[in-house]
Structure 1
Amino acid sequence: MHTFSRADFERFGQLYDIEFRFPAIHGDNSTDDYIVARGEITEHSLASGFRFTFSSLEVLEAYDSVSCGHAPLLVLVVLDGIVRLTLGSVEHELTPGTAVSMQLHPDYPLQAHQPEQQHLEIMALAFDPRRAKLGHVSPSLHGLTILPRMPLRQWKVPHALQQLLRTYAGLTMTGTQKNLVLEGVALQLAGLGLGSEEQESPDVPVVPVQQRQRLELVRQHLEFTPDHDHSLKDLAQMAAMSPSGLRAKFRAMYGVPVFDYLRKCRLQLAKHYLEQGFSVEQCANKVGYTHATNFSTAFRREFGFSPRQRTVDQKK
């Protein structure tokens, strides 16, 4: 078992564009050699561009991290312990057996909070084709260089795959055999992380790659600023399209009209505020609704229960 100091975490952060913060460490404990965790961290990079990071730690001091790197696909699996993530305006709490998949981009940093806990066991899988060796990337992986439809998707990990990940540390195989096993695990995680794609109508034209990237900028702008007063004209300018073109291509790519997507982002953020203890009126105002009654109606349609009912349930 190894011990990890602040300096160890900072060196790791420099390698992968992660900034670590230790809010509870101050005074005499603020030295770089102060021990913040103990356990094991192992990494394994594959020729295909996948990189595994397995961590089994006792977290002695709570810490925050901000990831500012780039990866077309990042999958994080929690096998034991709790991880709290914030991407954009919404928080996600991961418990054992759950995972998230997302596209990591420096413009939209991923924030994580690791509370002090006896055992934290997590696995991170990053895919970056720029690190792949020529001829080793499967043709099916080339599509991952295009941004996923959603910035963060939370899902349950099948039990058999959880067991395989838990036994990774005990694997004695090396070399080619180990690489093949991990390539298979990586492909399973990537496939499950991307989820099932909606079947597009044959009448819907294929959106060119450059337009997909501009549409993704619009979608992420809505995701990260749902409380702003967005107009179709401004969003169309951001996408370098006409308003009618934005309407048609946004729906073709994401399966929902642009302002329906904005509404979903606002209501998801409002649900988070309700869980934090804000009143219905405060939540409505914070996510851009002028009238609380309109907000309550939209909330009930989206989630099947009223925001006041959610507030009462939280107090029980």
Structure 2
Amino acid sequence: MPELHGFSPTRPFSAHDFLSFGRDHGIDYQFPSLSGLGHQSFNQPVARGLVNEIVLPSGFRLTNSDLDVLQPYESLSLGHSPLLIVVVLQGRISLEAGGWQSELHPGMALSLQLGPNHPLHAVQLPGQRLKTVTLALDPRHLASPSPHNALLTELLEASQHPVYSWRVPSSLLNVLKQHLETSLPELQRKLLLEGVALQLMALGLPGRDIREPGHAGVSRQDIRRLESVRSVLECAPAEDHSLGDLAHRAAMSTSSLRYKFRRVYGQTVFEYLRSCRLELAKRCLEEGYSVQQSAHRAGYRHATNFATAFRKQFGVSPSDLSST
């Protein structure tokens, strides 16, 4: 039967609280603004809110955090998990793992195989409400014999890219939020979250894209390089990306990047970037931003171009989703 653990609801958390939590879960916490101020400063609130943990039958430990960040803090996850998934629901968080580094915004997720070669470094900035969900697969559970575990082990061992950034589909993201906030009895809530956890696992397996067939003429090394380009487009769609800069990142010529990216992902580089920008704009509109604000946050400089592209992508105008 799943169990509920973790911090008590809606309370201040000091550095001492985080350090105690870290000792239990193999996480090293650092507090830059408190260093050099003496041991007593570690009693000051670093964040306020709630952190809950639910151990699910699938072997995942689901950690739901909803915190107002008062002081900057960093964490380095040093444990081991065959599959760790971090989903950002609100706020932003800077993550680094295995040479991959970016800032995740609402709706984004990072999957990785956590271990000595891929520790996860996170930086949480103050002055924001940060809501995240983390799924950590217990390696002891994966070792137990079952068809489900055998299949998952095979998929994880086949992965050629142990760090994978991706977007959670809006429909699944909404379901996750609803189940976290539901007033249903605890047992029913845990069963609902178990279903969402399995869907996140299916979508967030590292290396999911590079295992797909149909990439003849593109080496695995090139696919890993292309994945670094895809990742930066997905995680920072509002930035001004030039084909030359992206080709340099992939260690390819611009013509090779154009050809190989389309062959692997079925879209041109800038078609993919446009889709990422429009998905970001859609989430902004759903969060209450105006059409102009959403367009700007997604990297669009002209509202007319944005509205045309949005209508073509989603079949509705951005004003249909805006409440302002």
TM over 0.5, yes or no?
yes
**Is 1:143 aligned to 2:151, yes or no?**
yes
Worse-superposed segment, 121-130 or 21-30: 21-30
Q: Tell me the equivalent position of 1:229.
A: none
2:135 is the alignment partner of 1:125:
yes
Task: For 1:298 and 1:23, locate their aligned partners in 2 and report how far apart those are by CA, in whole Å.
Answer: 43
Does structure 2 conserve the Cα–Cα contact (< 8 Å) formed by 1:73 and 1:144? no
Displacement of 1:174: 2.2
Pick the aligned partner of 1:15 from 14, 24, 30.
24
Unaligned runs of 5+ in 1: 202-250, 306-313
User: Are the counterparts in 1 of residues 70 and 127 from structure 2 also a CA contact under 8 Å?
Assistant: yes
Aligned partners of 2:52 and 2:64 also within 8 Å: yes
Matched residue SS, 2:32: coil
- How far residue 19 of structure 1 moved from its aligned partner, in angstroms, is 1.0
CA contact (8 A) 1:83 1:115 kept: yes
Q: Aligned equivalents of 1:197 and 1:264: distance in 2?
A: 10
Q: CA deviation at 1:51?
A: 1.0
Q: Does 1:90 align with 2:100?
A: yes
Identify the residue that residue 6 of structure 1 maps to in structure 2.
Answer: 15
Q: Are residue 190 (structure 1) and residue 201 (structure 2) matched? A: yes
**Is the Cα–Cα contact under 8 Å of residues 14 and 47 in structure 2 kept in the other structure?**
yes
The amino acid that maps onto 2:90 is D
2:175 corresponds to: 164
> TM-score of the superposition, structure 1-length normalised?
0.63
Alignment-mate amino acid for residue 172 of structure 1:
L
1:22 deviates by 1.4
Counterpart position of 1:103: 113
- Counterpart among 77, 80, 83 of residue 70 in structure 1: 80
List aligned pairs for 1:1-316, cutoff 5 A.
1-28=10-37, 31-131=41-141, 139-145=147-153, 146-147=156-157, 148-167=159-178, 168-175=180-187, 177-194=188-205, 195=208, 198-200=211-213, 256-261=218-223, 264=226
SS at 1:119 equivalent: strand
Distance 1:304 1:125, change over 3 A: closer
Note closer, same or farther for the CA distance 1:296–1:25 as it changes in structure 2 (3 Å cut).
farther
Match for 2:222: what amino acid?
Answer: D
Which moved further from structure 2: 9-18 or 294-303?
294-303
1:26-53 deviation per Cα after TM superposition (whole angstroms, max 9, x unaligned): 3436533121101000000023211100
**Alignment-mate amino acid for residue 38 of structure 1:** R
CA distance in 2, matches of 1:29, 1:297: 57
The secondary structure found in structure 1 opposite 2:176 is helix
Residue type of the partner of 1:23?
P
Does the C-alpha gap of structure 1 residues 45 and 266 become closer, same or farther in structure 2, counting only changes over 3 Å?
closer
Report the equivalent of 2:312.
Answer: none
| Gap change, CA 1:7 and 1:265, over 3 Å in 2 | same
Question: Secondary structure in 2 aligned to 1:65?
Answer: strand
TM-score (norm 2): 0.62
- How far the C-alpha of 1:157 sits from its partner, in A, is 1.6
Counterparts in 2 of 1:155 and 1:263: CA distance versus 1, 3 Å: closer
**Aligned-pair distance for 1:193?**
1.1
Mapped to 1, the partners of 2:225 and 2:173 lie a distance apart of: 35
Q: Give the Cα separation in 2 of the matches to 1:141 and 1:197.
A: 21
* Aligned residue in 1 for 2:304: none
* Cα separation, 2, equivalents of 1:28 and 1:44: 35
Cα separation, 2, equivalents of 1:196 and 1:300:
17
- Per mean C-alpha deviation after superposition, the further-off stretch among 10-19 and 22-31 is 22-31
Residue type at the aligned position of 1:125: L
C-alpha contact (below 8 Å) 1:44/1:53 kept by paired residues? yes
- Give the CA deviation at 1:295: 6.3
For residues 183-213 of structure 1, the C-alpha deviation after alignment (integer angstroms, 9 at most, x for no partner) is 2111111111124674558xxxxxxxxxxxx
Amino acid at match of 1:71: S
The CA RMSD measured in Å over matched residues stands at 3.8
Secondary structure in structure 1 of the residue aligned to 2:58: coil
Question: How many residues were matched structurally?
Answer: 242
Consecutive unaligned residues in structure 2, runs of 5 or more: 1-9, 262-267, 271-298, 302-324
Q: Distance in 2 between matches of 1:133 and 1:88?
A: 25
Q: Which residue of the partner structure matches residue 310 of structure 1?
A: none
Partner AA of 2:13 in structure 1: F
